[in-house]
A and B are shown apart, each in its own frame.
Chain A
Amino acid sequence: MSINPPSLPPSPLRAARTAAPVSTRGARFAAPRRTLAGGLYRPAFLALLLAPLGIVYVAAFVYPIGAFLLESVWTKEGLSLANYARLVDQPLYVTILLRTFRIGLYVTLICLVLAYPLAYWLTRLRGLPFSLAVACILLPLWTSVLVRTYAWAVLLRHGGIVNSALLSLGLINEPLTLLYTEFAVLVAMVHILLPFMVLPIYSSLRGIPRDLGRAAQSLGARPAREFLHVVLPLSLPGVVGGCVMVFVIAIGYFITPALLGGPRMLLVSTLINQQVTSVLNWSFGGALGATLLAAALLSIVLLRMLMGAASRWIAEG
């Protein structure tokens, strides 16, 4: 055993480097390690360490959301579902709900189509090209949403870069109206959410042993068949994870639709804002919020079931 004497490591850097080999050795002895860790600290001490997080979650997450959603059923006449009836009765609100889900679906599908090949390509890269490609994905992910929204506003506005490029190429005769349309919201949201699709797909693709592909080829599988029967099924968890993430964020996205969608392109999020800050109708806002949250949870459940069915279908032939 080459465990450092605990009193020795004053330098965290060295300690971190030595920690890695120790941990891989420990992984093989998972069972004794678990009992050891369980017995090391008193449950009461561990619960005490967890308490601050619990308090913050209850105070700043559970209570606020609960209070907001409860607004929807408490009306002047007491408990009522009138707000939900209004949501279903009025064609305007049904249109907005459907538009929100349609955009969420389009954004998810476009992201999937763009992200899968990119993630697949990433698994073949090594060294500097790999680092550069990952940097190109992580940099936008960690850049402010407002920077990206501003960039798209600059690109798509009436005298913007896209329009002047198209004009000078002679493809159009007069500037197109791109900003404050569904198109603008779609493009910007795909741009913002794409990394959320690439990263989970990449990590599930990377987990597939290369030998599996070689085995399929040695058994005579053509590349397409190898992809369909080996790579695709094994990457499904990443695909579903990415789709859930992108769809759930997309249907609740506020900043980009508010800035690039314009007043005629209301989505549920911008409608909630309007109800809460301009109309001051908190109870209807709460009903919209509850609907959105239910849709998000439902989509997670549905996609998981879909994945189960798909992997069973592929396994059977």
Chain B
Amino acid sequence: MARDRRRPLTRLRRRWRSYVLGAFSLLVLAFLVGPILLVIPISFGGSEFLEFPPKSYSLRWYAAYFSDHEWIAATLFSLKVASLTAICATIVGTAAAFALVRSGWGRHDLVGALIAAPMITPAIITAVGLYLALSRVGLVGQTMGFVLAHTVLVLPLVVISVSASLHGIEPRLEAAAMSLGAPLSSVLARITLPLALPGIAIGAAFAFISSFDEATVSFFLSTPGGKTLPKKMFEGIEWELSPVIAVVSTLLTLISFVLVLLIAALRGLRRGASPQAGFVPPPM
């Protein structure tokens, strides 16, 4: 009797707990996504000033963005830097990840910490240091300087995601090919690289988006002649909160959304590997 009476009560109490937990979690998720979604209607506003919710809708701010020479120049410059960074970081990072995984060096905590160091060093220190070093060799504001700086910032991401992929590849496949007389180059090109391709692609996507969005180093390295999109946005927010920035924000969110989907799809291809790899955070 006593047991029967207590049971529904405990169940109710447990449910009550999980309802509170669910409601709290949904609120936190809304806090995370809300502000980002908010800028989308603002970008379609029809008035001369920023208003939310917009009283009328138009594409005038999109027209303003696409006809503004400075915004387009900054966008193209960022695309160039991010593409070159992704290429450099993917090549250097894939080679390093292969060496770290196949030699077993990557298992040491110290090596892991050294590889991740650019990711966890306070951004301002790396940024000012790079500003000092690159100004000594005249690379401030130059594509080369940005690519070098961004490459070092995104390399940990590439190494981590390619390593996760390589850990899932059986070295005996490589051994078998070698024992059948395949030269080293074709073992790597025809076995290791194709098998590691999803991880390499994830690394490249991480590298691209991290470089494209990187703000702190870009803040210091940008010059009037070589300005990235984040630096241009920084100046825009500093001076006035023009809806043109909402347009850029909407476009950037769209790019991030596509990349998150792409990475999720690639992660699905590689289900055997560590689930941690897709969660690696971007450098600031």
**Which residues does A use to contact B, with CB under 8 Å?**
3-4, 6-7, 9-10, 12-13, 15-17, 19-26, 33-34, 36-38, 40-41, 43, 45-47, 49-50, 52-53, 56-57, 59-61, 63-69, 71, 114-115, 117-118, 120-122, 124, 131, 133, 135-155, 157, 161, 191, 194-196, 199, 203, 223, 245, 248-249, 251-255, 258-259, 268-269, 272-273, 276-277, 282, 285, 289, 292-293, 296
Contact = CB atoms under 8 A, between A and B. Distances in A.
Given A23-B169, A191-B35, A259-B234, A61 B269 contact: no
Contacts of A120: 21
B76 interface: no
Contacts, number: 332
B95 A155 contact: no
B79 interface: no
7 contacts: A19-B270, A56-B151, A64-B126, A114-B28, A133-B25, A157-B241, A255-B215
Given A21-B272, A191-B32, 18 more contacts: A3-B170, A16-B270, A37-B102, A46-B99, A59-B148, A61-B121, A69-B129, A121-B24, A139-B257, A140-B32, A146-B215, A152-B35, A161-B52, A249-B123, A249-B284, A254-B124, A259-B238, A285-B128
Contact of B172 (A3, A67, A138): A3
Given A15-B195, A59-B148, A253-B123, A22 B269 contact: no
A140 B234 contact: no
Nearest to B107: A34
A302 B27 CA distance: 32
Contacts of A26: 170-172
Contact of A117 (B25, B120, B149, B159): B25
B29 interface: yes
A203 B279 contact: yes
B237 A61 contact: no
B281 A139 contact: no
B104 to A, nearest CB: 6
B124 A252 contact: yes
Contacts of B93: 53
B36 A139 contact: yes
A43 B104 CA distance: 11
B87 interface: no
Contacts of B187: 6
A26 B168 CA distance: 9
B64 interface: no
Given A16-B195, A16-B269, A136-B29, A154 B125 contact: no
Given A49-B96, A143-B256, A133 B29 contact: yes
Contact of A56 (B148, B264, B271): B148
A65 to B, nearest CB: 4
B47 interface: no
Contact of B171 (A16, A20, A33, A154): A33
B73 interface: no
B246 interface: yes
Most buried by A among B118, B128, B213, B215: B128
B35 A145 contact: no
Given A56-B155, A203-B275, A259-B237, A36 B175 contact: yes
Contacts of A34: 104
B152 A57 contact: yes
Interface in B112-167: 114, 117-118, 120-134, 148-149, 151-152, 155, 159, 167
B281 A145 contact: no
Contacts of B204: none
A50 B125 contact: no
Given A12-B195, A63-B133, A223-B17, A68 B128 contact: yes
